[in-house]
Chains A and B, each alone.
Chain A
Amino acid sequence: MSASSAALTMDRTIAARPPAAIPALDIIANIAQVQLTPMAVEIDEGHYPLEIMADLGKAGAFRFHLADGGHRFDLAISAMETISAACGSTGFLAWCHDVMGLYLDQSDNAGLRERLLPYHAVARTFGGTALSNPMKSFAGIEPVLLKARPVAGGYSVTGSLPWVSHIAPGQYCAAIAQIEVEAGCESHEVMFLLPFDGRARLRTCPKFSGMEGTSTWGITLEDFFVPVADIIADPVKPFIARIRASFILLQTGMALGVARGAIADIRAVHGHLAHVNQYLSDGADELEPELDALRARIMALAATPFDTSRDYLLNVLDARAEGAELCLRAAQSALLHQGASGYLMTSAPQRRIRESHFVAIVTPAIKHLRRLMAQLEQDPSPAQEQGR
């Protein structure tokens, strides 16, 4: 029901695209409609849709933003929007896959890039990102949980991470560890490829309220050897400074998609419920122009993804936060508009409520975004240092 109406609104973003990109985006839209939409409930409940991810990768969904794709972050976000409108979990997997590709693409380690990226970019291999903890750490929210000790030929890493998505035996992710030259003496951080070749322990996570098909695990490493050949960035901070804005900007694709799907859910019941839904606020005609305006801003930001200025980062954080808020409003509104049918456990609005919650709490969560923006809004001055 909501699926077909989601498809109806898909053309909105396609209109502005250059002709060359349209076939790929059309194929992605078709995969989303034909394969993802019917599977959305099953994925939400636990099916890890690698077979669909492979098809999306083959269609080019995960390479737009790479050097090879001309750094077209706008198209990467559009693809993620289309995927997320059909299934938020797969939209999140697309983001995980995209940023893993971004790390490899931006890494100075040409050997690693050449070894892995050609396969990763087209989803012949799969891998996610374990950067939630270090990203929070760099924002001063929590310490880095993985510790690395320099050893001959690389590092030995020990520690646990609570939840990492889009990983499984035979897959990989990128992780960051704090280097400890000796116990208690911390140096800089190192980012590395973490292959799940049997050495790292994967722990089952507690049940989440939704998005169970994202293959999310806890990771434990005990003296895990990382060879120099697997290092993505060392030191990490200049690397993160370069990719931080684009890492966050890419997430807006999820927000746009979940909100678009919710607006489609509202329209889907317009015919038979308009007589009562007219008394609700946040209707489709109210939300849609806001979504369009936000999308236009995001697409403009996507033109300069590696801008490291403070103003650019603030604009990205603001767009990401607005996306999360719009998602929450749209999903809530979709449920109210559909009424009892939207309250069914397997209904799209019910699932989108949980997807919107995810967009709002995944790192950087709304609260993290606001905290970061508050920090960036402070002008550095001796008055600040005085700690007033």
Chain B
Amino acid sequence: MSVVMAEPNDDRGPWKEFLCRACGLIYNEGEGDPDSGIAPGTRFHDIPDDWSCPICGVRKQDFEPYERAAAIPLSAAPVTRRAKGGVVIVGAGIAGWSAAKAIRARDPDIAITMITNCAGHVYNKPELAVALSRGMTEERLRREIGSEAASRLGLRLIAETSAVGISARGRRLRTTRGTFAYDRLILASGARAMPPGGLDPARCWRINDLNSWIALSNRLSGKHRHLAIIGAGMVGCELAEDLARAGHEVTLVSLTAEPMEGFFPARAGERLRQGLESLGIRLHGGVTVTAMEPCEDGTSMLSLSDGKAIHVDHVITATGLATPSRMIAAAGIAFENGIVVDPQTLQTSVADIFALGDCVSIGGTPCRYVEPIAGQAATIAAAVTGAAPLPYDHRPPMIRLKTRSAPIVVEGSIVRGGEWREAKGASGELIMEQWVDGSLTARLVA
């Protein structure tokens, strides 16, 4: 039993604590260190200099004042796991929540665990591309708090946790908060947006999830800023319009001369450019960024391949997504531009591991649209609950470019470099069809 001195009466404030930086022992002035001859109530500064840590022996100088930190909320603590794994879902984006919902609809009892590196809040990612101009807030974008969605669906949500390894043989998923057994594993882990090589990722915004949108929104809040968006694909064009409508000065930097060039026919790209320019967006086409220099005030100077330079407050890159391959490859799961899945069953090359959403590739091509996800989730839900197979029917989704200045809709599957023909449309409407080897592959309405 340790004797603890009551309140100090030396006018030097309450008893303080000191932490051994080597072993974590805490010296409490009220308790002293009687085993080493330091009486209870000895101020740390009054301890002789030859005193050492009673546990590990380091010197008095190796202690530092210790302030007890606030308790870590329970949700961040490791969770006890049952031996039987049930279904484990990696990812809490649209794909992860769709899978959870579809499985729960089929089976009220099956154990579902969801592992996600974010808080797990439910939101609709496509909305992020138009949210600033609509004056959206975090609260309005967030449709449901992650923990509430989890309790509604009766699943265990392990938030702020990264999946790091899969042992297919032992049916175990390793994460940064422990190892989880599974019977069926569903990968809905999405894709990463990385800036083009040579640009410092710590200085390039990418808007690929709610957290990054919230951070950018906070940074821009109430200010008029000059923003450079690098990449004039779908996301780049949509963000450019959204930011311009939100009152910012926007320069869209593109490798191609026209936005969406190579994917859209030239006439549609031209229309899109005209629409964006009508909002005051400057399109800087046919160039690459050769350097990005930070300025002292936190702004950036972008040097372009045509010798020009632009001074901007923030840089947003939208040069495409890539599915992280490390964990997949290490687990021996086939990967080709994404996690390879069977187009009908959505099973990966390894038994009992399925994948859906942005992280998969079908026929070597990733499919990063929201529309097919519900069908993918339904197929996987049938498989993991032991229901009759519900084959997935992969069709190219309808693509809607959410640029109100020049909205564009595409049906079918665009073949890069394919021939485009103009078709008859209503007045002011541009309709183009792509024909490859005598058959219609895509139809675009602008």
Residues in chain A within 8 A of chain B (CB atoms): 133, 142-143, 145, 159-163, 203, 205-206, 218, 220, 281, 286, 289-290, 293-294, 297, 311, 314-315, 317-319, 321-322, 325, 370-371, 373-374, 377, 379-386, 388
Contact = CB atoms under 8 A, between A and B. Distances in A.
Interface string B167-210: 10110001011110000000000001010000011111110000
B58 A388 contact: no
A280 B170 CA distance: 16
B83 A160 contact: no
5 contacts: A160-B52, A205-B57, A289-B169, A318-B164, A381-B201
Given A160-B58, A383-B215, A386-B218, A377 B176 contact: yes
Contacts, number: 115
Contacts of A311: 326
A142 B215 CA distance: 29
A381 B204 contact: yes
B192 A145 contact: no
Contacts of B154: none
B169 A382 contact: no
Given A318-B164, A381-B202, 19 more contacts: A159-B59, A160-B58, A162-B23, A162-B53, A218-B57, A220-B59, A317-B164, A319-B165, A322-B174, A322-B179, A325-B179, A373-B164, A377-B117, A377-B162, A379-B206, A381-B212, A382-B203, A383-B211, A386-B219
A383 B212 contact: yes
Contacts of B71: none
A206 B20 CA distance: 16
Nearest to A366: B178
A321 B169 contact: no
> Which interface class (under 10, 10 to 19, 20 to 34, 35 or more) fits B?
35 or more
B142 to A, nearest CB: 14
B216 interface: yes
Contacts of B273: none
Contact of A162 (B57, B178, B194): B57
B219 A377 contact: no
B169 A388 contact: no
Contact of B162 (A133, A159, A373): A373
- What are the 10 A-B residue pairs with the smallest beta carbon separation, nearest first? A162-B56, A383-B215, A377-B162, A218-B57, A374-B176, A160-B58, A318-B165, A380-B202, A162-B22, A311-B326
B174 A382 contact: no
Contact of B57 (A142, A203, A293): A203
Given A159-B62, A220-B59, A297-B330, A145 B22 contact: yes
B426 interface: no
A97 to B, nearest CB: 23
A383 B205 contact: yes
A293 B330 contact: no
Contacts of A163: 56
A315 B330 contact: yes
B215 A388 contact: yes
Given A142-B21, A381-B212, A382-B203, A206 B55 contact: yes
Contact of A145 (B21, B83, B216, B314): B21
A64 to B, nearest CB: 24
Contacts of B52: 160
A290 B59 contact: no
A281 B59 CA distance: 47
B89 to A, nearest CB: 17
A293 B169 CA distance: 8
B215 A160 contact: no
A143 B205 contact: no
B279 interface: no
A319 B326 CA distance: 13
A370 B214 contact: no
